[in-house]
Structure 1
Amino acid sequence: MTTAASSAVSPTGPAVCDDRVVVFDTDIGYDLDDMVALWAAARSVRNLIVLTNDETRGRRAQFARALLDHMDRHDVPVVAGRELGGDHRFLLGDALIEPAVPVLTDVVEVIASECARATQPLTWVGLGPLSNLADVLTVCPHLAEQIQLTQMGGWLDHYRDPTRASHNLRMDPAAAGLVLRAAHRPRCVLSTHTNVPDIRITPDSSLFGWLTARQAPVWSQLIRANFERWFARRPASWLGDPLTLASALGEPVVDYVTEAVRIECDARLYRDPHGRAIEVSAAVDYPRFHTWLAELLPTEAWHASHAALSTSPRPLFPCGNGTGDVRELPQS
């Protein structure tokens, strides 16, 4: 069975130089922040496993496999996870996917095998519904202490629609409830800290400019396609997934506090002194996160190629004001 390789490192960026295995659980192919997060992970994580969730006939896994192969990360296993009826949440056409590229399909087997050989807990980066981890903990509850979850999503104080849970948790509320109760010391990067202008990215960003430049490498075409399809639907994206990745990897960009939380059947979270102890984000160092991401992604290439056109290159994160003020998101 294919496993995370300890010897292969992306030639396009630095590696996390330790032996931990990072499980990247994503619904890639919709909001572009999943794509940016996988791009950053491919350039920074040595031992990487990619799981896809909210699958749509295996297309998310095929898309992730194609992107990783274009980035010379053939060593990274990709596993197609649980389907949740998300066809309408996949923006990339079949023409962009290489269906002949093999991917794995047994999430539980892959994770159980990896835990059996690991010498430290797996770092699980949850960037979508919690269905895959729920399946693992249902079949193998003894693995709970061997998995350290950092999940993007959830809210306690602010959300654009207080009548429902945030997107990732409400896509599979039963899985969210199970995992947040069963996982060992789970951490949540709350929507309160990701729905902010500081991490907003628009078509005016230097990153999108670099992707659409004539000098952009061939391997970046899949990333560009995801950007273009998303911006055709929405005016912006908020990079909560890369922020969650950075925190999971140990970058000091998110401060956490422990809250006693009641988890409702629809996956909304409420403070409750008799609730489950969960670590939730309390503050974010956005400038430090900007620096971390800018060091991984090639915005300097865009700046260099366009230096003659502007004396003030477009920022990676336009509209960020450094305040952390909450902005309402025009998303589902």
Structure 2
Amino acid sequence: MTRLIIDTDPGVDDAFAITLAALDPGAELLAVTTVFGNVALPATTANARRVLALCEREDVPVAAGADRPLVHPQPHRAHHAHGSDGLSGRSAALPNSTRAARTAGAVDLMARLLDEADEPVTIVPIGPLTNIALLLASYPELATKIERLVVMGGAVHGGNSTAAAEFNIWSDPEAARRVLVGESVPCVLVPLDLTYRCAVGTGWLDTLRGSGPRGAALCALVPDYLEHYRAALGWDGIVLHDAVAVAEALRPGILDGVSYPLDVDCSFGPSRGATIIDRRRGGPHPAGTAQTRAVDIAMDTDLDGLREFLLAGLCGG
């Protein structure tokens, strides 16, 4: 059984991702921790609790984490894609949670769960990496308890928040560099290049909507998101970025990865927040261009198989 902690900033695609993990019979969802990102921390925390209530999984603890980046302010939220509350302005349509968020913060909760774990735990960060950077800095002795990080973020060829940078990495580049470059925990990065290719259309959404009340509730969250991606894709569909990463966490190998040295641009130029992936062929490199540690970059998948896996999981089948 896969043991998971999801660190998230819900977000429409985060809601789909949490649901996928919460309903998977082969997964033990140990906790959901929240971070600033698509919207402010109080909203991301409330949204996570509501999604778990929708899934009838209020046994899963929720803890709030960082409400800002490690060093520099987040330039802006993602209201343009996710709406004012993160869920297309429709968060109140989800059931109210009867369980309060944990008084212990996200980092302390993750540390306790890792310390108590008798088997390695997979952590799935699908928002800015601030909580994960703080966890690894504060509890370095627990790094060996982490089986791997499956991170939704970054891009090989251009971003979405800027021409160079993807939103999660761009929101806190210093935290991302600490996690992706400065640590040795095994890591899979699921970039925009792949998640866009996994986009789903209105027919897929119609099938989910018709699967029952839970599927209908999830589909009710997408209007603002669909409007945004209609313009971005050029057709009626949405990109479930975070659910693609959760799929890899639940079924290791569903995404095809290639190991590359990686760095994160923490400068203040136009490429701030970019993931710099070194795809040069092997052999000696010029002085001053030493390779950083390698990260598995998810580059491909069986697109139809992945969409079917997501749909079956979200339908509870």
**If the TM-score is normalised by the length of the shorter chain, which range does it land in?**
0.7 to 0.9
Are residue 282 (structure 1) and residue 275 (structure 2) matched? no
- Displacement, 1:188? 0.5
The match for 2:32 is: 50
The 10-residue stretch of structure 1 (240-249 or 123-132) with the greater mean CA deviation from structure 2: 240-249
The match for 1:188 is: 189
Distance 1:78 1:183, change over 3 A: farther
Distance 1:96 1:297, change over 3 A: closer
Distance 1:183 1:126, change over 3 A: farther
The match for 2:138 is: 139
The match for 2:62 is: 78
Q: For 2:157 and 2:307, locate their aligned partners in 1 and report how far apart those are by CA, in whole Å.
A: 25
Partner deviation per Cα, 1:271-316 (whole Å, 9 max, x = no partner): 165222212123222232123223223399xxxxxxxxxxxxxxxx
Distance 1:119 1:162, change over 3 A: same
- Displacement, 1:169? 0.5
Root-mean-square deviation (CA), in Å?
A: 2.8
Are residue 39 (structure 1) and residue 19 (structure 2) matched? yes
Distance 1:137 1:160, change over 3 A: closer
- Structure 1 letter corresponding to 2:31: I
The match for 1:60 is: 44
Q: For 1:47 and 1:296, locate their aligned partners in 2 and report how far apart those are by CA, in whole Å.
A: 14
Are residue 295 (structure 1) and residue 312 (structure 2) matched? yes
The match for 1:102 is: 100
Q: For 1:161 and 1:57, locate their aligned partners in 2 and report how far apart those are by CA, in whole Å.
A: 19
Q: For 2:98 and 2:127, locate their aligned partners in 1 and report how far apart those are by CA, in whole Å.
A: 25
Distance 1:74 1:225, change over 3 A: same
Q: How does 1:138-287 map to 2 (within 5 A)?
A: 138-147=137-146, 148-159=148-159, 163-180=163-180, 181-196=182-197, 199-202=198-201, 204-208=202-206, 210-211=208-209, 216-217=212-213, 219-220=214-215, 222-235=217-230, 236-265=237-266, 266-270=272-276, 271=278, 273-287=290-304
- Structure 2 letter corresponding to 1:50: V
- Displacement, 1:70? 2.9
The match for 2:7 is: 25
SS in structure 2 of the partner of residue 24 of structure 1 = strand
Is the Cα–Cα contact under 8 Å of residues 254 and 283 in structure 1 kept in the other structure? Answer: yes
Q: For 1:182 and 1:68, locate their aligned partners in 2 and report how far apart those are by CA, in whole Å.
A: 31
- Structure 2 letter corresponding to 1:121: P
Distance 1:94 1:228, change over 3 A: closer
Q: For 1:94 and 1:189, locate their aligned partners in 2 and report how far apart those are by CA, in whole Å.
A: 27
SS in structure 2 of the partner of residue 73 of structure 1 = coil
Q: For 1:273 and 1:283, locate their aligned partners in 2 and report how far apart those are by CA, in whole Å.
A: 27
Q: For 2:186 and 2:249, locate their aligned partners in 1 and report how far apart those are by CA, in whole Å.
A: 13
SS in structure 2 of the partner of residue 195 of structure 1 = helix
SS in structure 1 of the partner of residue 189 of structure 2 = strand
Give unmatched runs, 5+ long, in structure 1. 1-17, 301-332
Q: For 1:104 and 1:92, locate their aligned partners in 2 and report how far apart those are by CA, in whole Å.
A: 25
The 10-residue stretch of structure 1 (55-64 or 103-112) with the greater mean CA deviation from structure 2: 55-64
Q: For 1:129 and 1:158, locate their aligned partners in 2 and report how far apart those are by CA, in whole Å.
A: 18
The match for 1:92 is: 89
Distance 1:134 1:152, change over 3 A: same
Is the Cα–Cα contact under 8 Å of residues 205 and 219 in structure 2 kept in the other structure? Answer: no
- Displacement, 1:223? 2.0
Q: For 2:221 and 2:136, locate their aligned partners in 1 and report how far apart those are by CA, in whole Å.
A: 32
Q: For 1:186 and 1:299, locate their aligned partners in 2 and report how far apart those are by CA, in whole Å.
A: 28
- Displacement, 1:102? 0.7
Partner deviation per Cα, 1:117-158 (whole Å, 9 max, x = no partner): 112221011211111111111211222222220111212345
Distance 1:206 1:187, change over 3 A: closer
How many percent of aligned residue pairs carry the same amino acid?
26
- Displacement, 1:159? 4.5
Q: For 2:31 and 2:301, locate their aligned partners in 1 and report how far apart those are by CA, in whole Å.
A: 26
Task: Provide TM-score, normalisation by structure 2.
Answer: 0.76
Distance 1:247 1:299, change over 3 A: closer
Partner deviation per Cα, 1:74-101 (whole Å, 9 max, x = no partner): 2111112222364845243574474874
Give unmatched runs, 5+ long, in structure 2. 69-73, 231-236, 267-271, 279-288
Distance 1:207 1:144, change over 3 A: same
Is the Cα–Cα contact under 8 Å of residues 149 and 183 in structure 1 kept in the other structure? Answer: no
